[in-house]
Structure 1
Amino acid sequence: MLEAVLLPYQQLWVADKSPVMVAEKSRRVGLSWGEACKSSLEAAAASGQDSWYIGYNKDMAQEFIRDVAFWAKHFGHAASEMEEIVLNDEEKDILSFRINFASGHRVTALSSRPSNLRGKQGRVVIDEAAFHGQLKELLKAAFALLIWGGSVAIISTHDGVDNPFNELVEDVRAGKKPYSLHRITFDEAIAQGLCKRVFMATKRAWSPEAQAAWCEEIRAIYRPNDAEELDVIPSQSGGAYLSRSLIESRMDPTAPVLRLECPEHFEQRPDNERRGFVADWIEEHLQDLVGTLPRALRHYYGQDFARNGDLSTIVPLTEEQTLKKRAPFLIEMRNVPFKQQEQVLFWLADRLPRFSGGAHDARGNGQYLAEVAMQRYGAAMIHQIMLTREWYRENMPKLKAAFEDDELSVPKDADVLGDFRAIVVDAGVPKVPDNAHTTGVDGKQRHGDAAIATALGYFASLNPGSLIEFESISDDRIGGQYDDYMRAL
């Protein structure tokens, strides 16, 4: 029966009886789902044992326990529905999830605090181990359960060669640790039927051509990190600079991404038509959002410029009372002429409450917009940045620290996540490599645009200019009337 449901690499995992099992894997190949099957079988057997699942966030915990419940029903095992429980912790109570079996055993999802394993017996499952901040301490606590006949399963994608998870894998591979080791790449999973299973679940017609196209779509999403994310090859020098779990934990689902894309040959249209098109977009998408920005708080922005191919991205930042910087929204512009990018930028910056500074990517064509912004708002307000290795070396650690300390939030968006994951350590310097192009959800090219714009905005917030404030009942704005500016274009 398992053969009909599980793919071969999932079957091998379920059949493995080693006290310690390690799996280095591609993303989204369903190994955690296979582990839920194993946990269900163990908990349902009278001679089985409890399982303690440790992911790095609440969503992983809920999903795993739901998968265990699915397997219990699939096998016809008597088990309770998923329940929420509160576990006593030495610092604060932790909300967790559990399913109980008629055998008397249970499967429980815990937080990743190592102390939570004290006094426990049974199996420990550590999922996405490379992204746990205290992995070495967590493994020490988990291995203590081996003394009384328990087992430990360690599952993860990679997050750099220097990560403790990769060090563990290398020790197993070198024979220093007597653990079993599973390696599942994306291509191996495809060869064993992953794509067919995905197409079956999503009611798509499978064919070799459809599979090849789907595989390329997946690879395009993960480039330039596809070697690490899909091929199970840890990146050199620490891999992706910001872990997926860290970025996701700092994403705000209430902050939208506004996308302006102009039609082909739009730059050839008359001035008034171009201005009117963008003015209509501003009124429809941007005006109300800007109107909700808190008037008493400082605001900054960063812009990563592009004209063709990549995106031109503007990230405004609100500095809250606690000094945390929050991006209330993000603007992406594709195929937008120079003058219309200027139109959007000036409209926005004129209306940012207590506007205190901006920073521009001033390389290449971006130098034009950086210069006119400086002329409009002043050299003390606008930073014209040449994105050199030295600038990245000095400022990317500050961006990372802001994420780690929960001092910065960005919109929750798949493409924004991909942009931040495009930051890698290149010869010791965290940056977006010049040739590191990825493909967005829309199938079009990106180049870490949101990440660079956010880094620039955060730089501006750390290096503020003279505070500009205004009160007006007309449309007077910083640097002159917007209508006068529009007429002068």
Structure 2
Amino acid sequence: MTSASAAASAHDDLKILLKYQASAIALSAQHELLVIEKSRRTGITYGFAADAVLTAAPAERPDNVYYIAYNLDMTREFIGYVGDFAKAFNEVATDAAEFLFDDGSDEGIKAFRVDFPSGKAVIALSSKPRSLRGMQGKVIIDEAAFHDQLSALLTAALALTMWGSHVIVISTHDGADNAFNELIEEIRAGKREGHVMRLTLKDALADGLFKRICLRTGKAWSPEAEAEWEAKLRKRYGSAAEEELDVIPSRGTGVYLPRASIVAAMSPNLPVIRIECPQGFELQPDEYRTDFVRELLEEELLPYLRDFDPLRRTYFGQDFARVGDVSPMAFGQHDEHLNLIVRFILEMRNVPFREQEFVLNWILARVPNFCAGKMDARGNGSALAEYAQQKWGATRIEAVQATDKTYLAFMPKLKASIQDRTMLIPLDEATLEDLRMIKLVDGVPKIPDRSVVSKADGAKGQRHGDNAIALMHLRAAADEDVGPMEVHTTGTPRPSAPEMSVSMRGFGSVGPRNNGLAF
């Protein structure tokens, strides 16, 4: 059989699986490390039993599969699934056999295996890190949150990826402080390479889980029957339903960023600049509005633009508001140690749409080496983001829709940068309040859907974590691999940036206006 026909055959075999089971298998082929946080009894392990057969049985490029559970009953169940799939796929295989796996100890490990004529096998083992020493093949670690030595086991498993193998880590949660949840947070924060797949009960139901249950049990499916089944299931789980079914680690609610961590990453020498337009300003003539805003920018902002390092790239993040909340823009550059320095945050209140566009273009035309920005594209913010993309390029400006997926991708990186003190932000009470507004809502770090009245910025208006979103977008934009825009000079010399001589608190050199002051 050719590789193309083998791939086609494997694709046909996987049609018996539900969509999310097939998607998990596809992701495991794309990533050396795939972590799946899942609801109870969604059949992910069952799907990977099918994949194990299709990995070990082919005549061309077969590979061993090592399944590692934390108890013997799980290994028996998995190897039983493997035997069932081998028969369903018409693959020649030995019957499942129990044996003692030589792990280098005197007593060995009780294990199960199914062998194929390809010379490869599916082997189900208990949870011992040394089990994988010297082995080669795909590794599946099941219910990882309940393994006693997950970190050591994962270290041993990842050694197999050096020769092209893949590691799949599957589990429901067992608390926010568990090593499994810490692994997920490391991946989402960019501290560890890998990919996270999140599968809640609702995700599984949307892909047909209850329909499959009805098919297996001989019951008639209906939307009403599915809703009743889910309601009864949640009632049985009681207070544990969020963790067991909704993939929310217990004790994983509340404040996302501790106050002490935020303050430690703040500098009094980095400014927050606030401009506010008077009531009725939007009804004034165009020239008046433009002159008014330009004068504010030249007086309040221009001196800080001169503090940018002219040799380094510039990024920005924005959160849009027209009335009520603050509409901030955060601009930053990396220093020589690749720490992200937030050169300033500009907060706007009651600034009309056209003038917000003017402000952004005015700044981008003056910062050095502009590379990338991410803008809030919810509601009316989509228009401003679209105008910016048209002027500065869609490859440099991303219009971001705030979804749970976006928050899961961006917020952990912001948190890691602040806690690791690789991002320096202005020392500002309102910014501190905004960052403290980030909460874990249903397992997702985001700003809850409510604004609060705050006087921290000296105004009487409300805030909605606005600077936190702008900083999140700035942090994400600074990860973009985009070169600076080409600039053609008019021949008029620009004021040079001051010497970058301040190095304090582990952040390297920054260029605040009052150079020489300690952070």
User: Given the two structures, how large is their TM-score scaled by the length of structure 2?
Assistant: 0.46
User: Given the two structures, how large is their TM-score scaled by the length of structure 1?
Assistant: 0.48
Q: Which has the larger radius of gyration?
A: 2
